[in-house]
Structure formats: structure tokens, C-alpha cells
């Protein structure tokens, strides 16, 4: 729980106090709080605290734990560093077993309050459903965060979005045999229950087959899970207002199919539905914020598994668009699922813009690591707006090029196109996006390759613990609220 009020009260079990190096050097206590100023003075006098980035000085004053937290030189302070150092403070030993903490910012600004909320909600999230041991390093005992800020409106908005982020993370982190396509459908149904602004279309195996979403069905052939395409239509604006569609890849587990993934690559593949999870997390946020926008939230959820029915490399399948695809590799399955969902949503819902999110290519992790998603698309204006939202929210993204010649790389001798590039080991992310490009036509479209950003193995150097990051919820929410 995160709450806000505008003046420090110093009445909680603990206080975390952010300070820049400049503030410490000036020796002028920036807070109207005598005990905290005395602690700061004592720490500085004893040369125990200089306010360097990440420096922490714990003290006990009047029976309360006070942690002075350094941010470094004010010129170097970023919102990311605020999130990082605050998260470390919340996880630190002096705050163990305490449940209430007041957070005093080095400067009261809407963006800084926003970052502090994210440090509390996103930074202290840990996936513990299956941990039975009592002691755990990542466990935070704090239940109530009180952030001192005048910007309560912005901070409350940040809290709603951060809840959407963690909702998305829960979906990614749980077992693949729990979070099945049917489970994701039920999750959406539960979210929109009794909500008159949302209508729902769900395609099961029968409808998918009758309508000809043959690429998606091919991927699911080896699985005993029932495939689903889920499309939630949120009508928050007037009837004439255009719709923006968010489309997610929802591979609830991807073993690679007959082109089986090796050890080292397969273990975290329940995360291959992170695009769908981002779409669902954004839907949850939208239902709470009720923006006056027309929006579509869609995903294709299937499992890429192996049995005698698995789809086979070299075979050709026809998708909803009518195009035929040669399967060059059964592990390039996400683009097949997305191809059908994108063409279905575009044909039947006529969105003005489409943004897809997909853990699509390992090549994107090679190119941009775990910190930046790849952004590709057919519309410069939309790309720029997505990059602006990425920058504003810290769901980082970086544009990669698309150019016409790349459609030659996915030519097939036996079908219209092929699901992998003929140029081995080159521009895998661009080729994956070019494949999707073949199914969006002229509709303004942006593809976010989130293969690197959706999941971190171990504690990240940022402000996420192990597992799903909920990437995309902040970016999509920012985009839809501002466009």
C-alpha cells in the first residue's frame, strides 16, 4: 500500500530520507524535521555519510529507524537512480521486520514522486508463491509506504500503473501449466466482469479453424492446451473515435517445437507470453483509470509443444490473411501466431493504429541486452510517439531499421513467405518484424520486440528482482493516455 501526504510527519516505524551530495555538502538540512537534521549532522560530522550515490547511513532516533540515502551529485541524479537507490533502501537490513515507512524525497517534484512510487511497488515485488522457506533475501516486510509529496494526483496515477505492472508480472511468473491460454481468457473475463464499456470476442479451436487462423493453429498442433484468441474492445470515447489496438504474443510455453530449444534457453520459456501479459496488465490499468479512449486489447495464446502432431519444418500453412508460409524453423512460432491475430484484428476491427508486443527474437537480446526493447514499424510518427513514451516511463526502447529489401530475406521457394530469414545469423529482429509487416498492410503499426526486457534472470542491475518485469504496461499506458 502506498499513500501520500504533503509534509513529513516522522510518526512511522521508519523514515527513508533521500539526499543529494550537494545537499549534504551544504550542511543545510533541507527538511523541516529536527530529528532527521540532527541525524544528518551527526553522520556528516563523523564522516560517515557524504551523500554519494547508493550510500546509506542508518540511525535510530527517538525509537525510529532513519536511513539517510545518498543520490550522488544533483546534476547526475536521474529518475532511474532514484528508483534504484530507494529500492535498495527498502530491501536493506535496518528495515527488516518493519511494516511502515515514510519516504522523504530530496526534492518534491511530480516525476520524483512517480519514481518513488515505482520503487515501492515495482522495486519491492518478488515472486514468492512457491517459496516455503521463511527467510528470503528479497522479502520486504514493509506493508505501508507513505511518500511525502504535494503531487498526490500524479503519485496516485503511478500507483495504479505500477499495480498493472505487477499484475502482468504474476501472469508471467507462474507455472506454464497454470497460466494456460484458457487461464488468460478467464483472467480477462474476470477483469471486465460487469463492465459495460468492454465487449469481448474469444476464438476457441472451433472458431479459429472455421475462420482459417491456420498459422496460429499450426503452432498449437503439438499441445494438449486449448488455443485462444482474446479480443477485448474498450469503448471509452465516442462512436466516431478511432480505435488503437494493442496486440500481444501469448506463447504460454515455447519449447521451440521440433526445433527444440537447448538447455540454457528453455527454462524460462513460460515468459514467452509476456506480450499478452503486458496487454492484459494495460487493460487492468485502463479499467481503473477509465480514459476517454477507444482501445482494443488482443492476444493469441497457444503453447508450442512437442508430440506426434507437432507442426513440422518444411511444411506449409495458410493463415487468416490467405498468405501461405513455409516453416523454416518451428521455434519462430511467435510471428505465426501474431500474423494471424494482427490480420484478424485489422480486418475485423479496423484499428487506426496497432502496437504489438512480443518476446519475438533472441537476436534482439543480442542487439540491445535486457535494458532496451527493439522498436520497428511502418509509420515514423507512431514510432516517435512510442519512443517518447518509452523514454518517459523507463520502459526503454530503441529503434531498429526496417527497409524494403528485407522482404527478400523471407522469400520461400514453396510458399508465399518463410518464417525465418534466408540470411543466416543476420538481422534476426529486423527479419522477424518484416515477417509481421507482411500482415499489417497500410495500417500504422509499431512492433516492440521485448525478448530481452520482459524477464531478468537474477537480481537486475536496475530495480527489478528476479523474473518478469512487466515491461510494456507503463509504456502502453503512457502512450494511450497521451495520444
Which amino acids are annotated catalytic? 261, 335
Question: Cβ 256 to Zn ion, closest distance in Å?
Answer: 5
Nearer to Zn ion, 117 or 325 (CB): 325
Distance CA 426, CA 433 (A): 13
Nearer to Zn ion, 254 or 271 (CB): 254
Which 301-320 residues touch Zn ion, going by CB under 5 A? none
In the bound state, the residue with its beta carbon closest to Zn ion is 331
Residue matched to cell numbers 468492454:
198
Distance CA 169, CA 251 (A): 15
Residue 331 found at the interface with Zn ion (CB under 5 A)? yes
Which stretch in 227-235, 250-258, 411-419, 446-454 sits in contact with Zn ion by CB under 5 A?
A: 250-258
Which stretch in 13-21, 39-47, 61-69, 331-339 sits in contact with Zn ion by CB under 5 A?
A: 331-339
Question: Cβ 297 to Zn ion, closest distance in Å?
Answer: 23
The site map against Zn ion for 110-139 (x = CB under 5 A) is ------------------------------
Nearer to Zn ion, 145 or 455 (CB): 455
Question: Cβ 257 to Zn ion, closest distance in Å?
Answer: 7
Residue 394 found at the interface with Zn ion (CB under 5 A)? no
Interacting residues of 397 by C-beta distance below 8 A, sequence separation 6+ = 372, 373, 374, 375, 386, 387, 390, 448, 475
Question: Cβ 474 to Zn ion, closest distance in Å?
Answer: 26
Distance CA 249, CA 281 (A): 14
Residue 154 found at the interface with Zn ion (CB under 5 A)? no
| Phi, psi torsion values for 207, nearest 5 degrees | -70, -40
Distance CA 339, CA 352 (A): 18
Nearer to Zn ion, 331 or 434 (CB): 331
Nearer to Zn ion, 331 or 340 (CB): 331
Question: Cβ 179 to Zn ion, closest distance in Å?
Answer: 17
Number of residues that bind Zn ion (CB under 5 A): 3
Angle at 125 between CA 116 and CA 448, to 5 degrees: 85
Task: Report yes or no: 322 and 271 within 8 Å, Cβ to Cβ.
Answer: no
Task: Report yes or no: 429 and 402 within 8 Å, Cβ to Cβ.
Answer: no
Say whether 118 sits in a helix, a strand or coil. helix
Question: Cβ 333 to Zn ion, closest distance in Å?
Answer: 5
Nearer to Zn ion, 254 or 434 (CB): 254
Residue 163 found at the interface with Zn ion (CB under 5 A)? no
Query: C-alpha distances in angstroms, 292 versus 36, 237, 287, 288, 480?
Result: 44, 5, 11, 12, 10
Q: What would the grid cell of residue 461 be?
A: 542491475
Distance CA 482, CA 53 (A): 33
Question: Cβ 254 to Zn ion, closest distance in Å?
Answer: 4
Which stretch in 13-21, 121-129, 196-204, 247-255 sits in contact with Zn ion by CB under 5 A?
A: 247-255
Task: Report yes or no: 31 and 106 within 8 Å, Cβ to Cβ.
Answer: no
Nearer to Zn ion, 138 or 265 (CB): 265
Which 421-460 residues touch Zn ion, going by CB under 5 A? none
Residue 254 found at the interface with Zn ion (CB under 5 A)? yes
**How crowded is the C-beta side of 223, counted as CA atoms within 13 Å?**
26
Interacting residues of 78 by C-beta distance below 8 A, sequence separation 6+ = none
The site map against Zn ion for 198-237 (x = CB under 5 A) is ----------------------------------------
Q: What would the grid cell of residue 73 be?
A: 551529485
Which stretch in 58-66, 205-213, 332-340, 387-395 sits in contact with Zn ion by CB under 5 A?
A: 332-340
Q: Enter the DSSP assignment of 262.
A: P
Residues that bind Zn ion (CB under 5 A): 254, 331, 333
Amino acid at each position: 500500500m502506498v499513500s501520500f501526504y504533503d509534509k513529513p510527519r516522522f510518526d512511522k516505524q521508519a523514515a527513508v530520507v533521500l539526499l543529494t551530495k550537494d545537499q549534504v555538502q551544504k550542511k543545510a538540512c533541507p527538511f523541516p524535521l529536527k530529528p532527521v537534521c540532527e541525524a544528518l549532522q551527526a553522520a556528516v560530522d563523523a564522516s560517515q555519510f557524504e551523500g554519494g550515490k547508493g550510500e546509506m547511513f542508518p540511525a535510530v532516533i527517538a525509537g525510529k529507524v532513519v536511513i539517510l540515502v545518498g543520490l550522488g551529485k544533483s546534476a547526475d541524479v536521474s529518475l532511474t537512480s532514484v528508483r534504484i537507490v530507494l529500492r535498495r533502501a527498502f530491501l536493506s537490513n535496518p528495515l527488516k521486520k518493519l511494516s511502515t515507512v515514510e519516504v522523504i524525497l530530496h526534492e518534491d517534484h511530480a516525476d520524483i514522486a512517480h519514481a518513488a512510487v515505482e520503487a515501492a511497488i515495482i522495486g519491492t515485488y518478488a515472486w514468492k508463491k512457491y517459496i516455503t522457506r521463511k527467510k528470503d533475501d528479497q522479502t520486504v516486510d514493509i506493508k505501508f509506504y507513505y511518500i511525502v509529496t504535494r503531487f498526490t494526483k500524479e503519485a496516485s496515477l503511478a500507483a495504479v500503473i505500477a499495480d498493472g505492472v505487477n499484475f502482468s508480472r504474476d501472469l508471467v511468473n507462474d507455472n506454464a501449466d497454470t497460466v494456460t491460454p484458457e487461464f488468460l481468457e478467464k483472467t480477462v473475463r474476470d477483469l471486465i466482469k460487469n463492465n459495460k464499456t468492454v465487449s469481448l470476442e474469444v476464438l476457441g479451436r472451433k472458431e479459429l479453424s472455421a475462420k482459417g487462423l491456420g498459422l496460429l493453429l499450426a503452432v498449437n498442433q503439438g499441445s494438449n492446451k486449448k488455443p485462444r484468441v482474446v479480443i477485448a474492445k474498450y469503448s471509452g470515447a465516442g462512436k466516431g473515435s478511432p480505435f488503437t489496438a494493442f496486440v500481444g504474443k501469448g506463447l504460454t510455453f515455447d519449447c521451440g517445437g521440433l526445433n527444440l530449444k537447448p538447455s540454457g534457453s528453455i527454462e524460462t520459456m513460460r515468459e514467452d507470453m509476456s506480450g499478452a501479459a503486458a496487454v492484459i496488465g494495460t487493460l487492468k490499468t485502463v479499467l481503473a483509470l477509465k480514459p476517454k479512449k477507444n482501445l482494443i486489447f488482443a492476444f493469441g495464446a497457444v503453447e508450442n509443444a512437442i508430440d506426434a502432431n507437432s507442426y513440422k519444418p518444411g511444411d506449409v500453412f495458410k493463415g487468416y490473411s490467405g498468405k501461405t508460409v513455409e516453416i523454416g524453423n518451428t521455434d519462430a512460432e511467435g510471428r505465426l501466431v501474431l500474423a494471424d491475430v494482427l490480420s484478424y484484428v485489422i480486418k475485423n476491427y479496423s484499428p487506426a493504429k496497432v502496437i504489438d508486443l512480443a518476446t519475438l527474437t533472441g537476436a534482439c537480446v543480442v542487439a540491445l541486452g535486457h535494458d532496451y526493447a527493439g522498436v520497428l514499424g511502418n509509420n515514423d510518427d507512431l514510432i516517435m510517439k512510442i519512443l517518447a513514451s518509452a523514454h518517459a516511463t523507463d520502459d526503454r526502447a530503441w529503434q531498429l531499421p526496417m527497409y524494403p529489401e528485407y522482404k527478400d530475406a523471407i522469400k520461400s521457394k514453396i510458399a508465399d513467405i518463410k518464417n525465418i530469414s534466408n540470411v543466416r545469423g543476420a538481422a534476426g529482429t529486423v527479419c522477424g518484424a518484416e515477417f509481421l509487416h507482411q500482415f499489417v498492410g497500410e495500417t500504422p503499426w509499431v512492433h516492440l520486440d521485448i525478448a530481452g526486457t520482459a524477464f531478468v534472470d537474477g537480481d537486475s542491475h536496475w530495480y527489478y528482482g528476479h523474473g518478469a518485469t512487466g515491461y510494456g504496461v507503463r509504456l502502453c499506458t503512457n502512450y494511450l493516455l497521451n495520444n
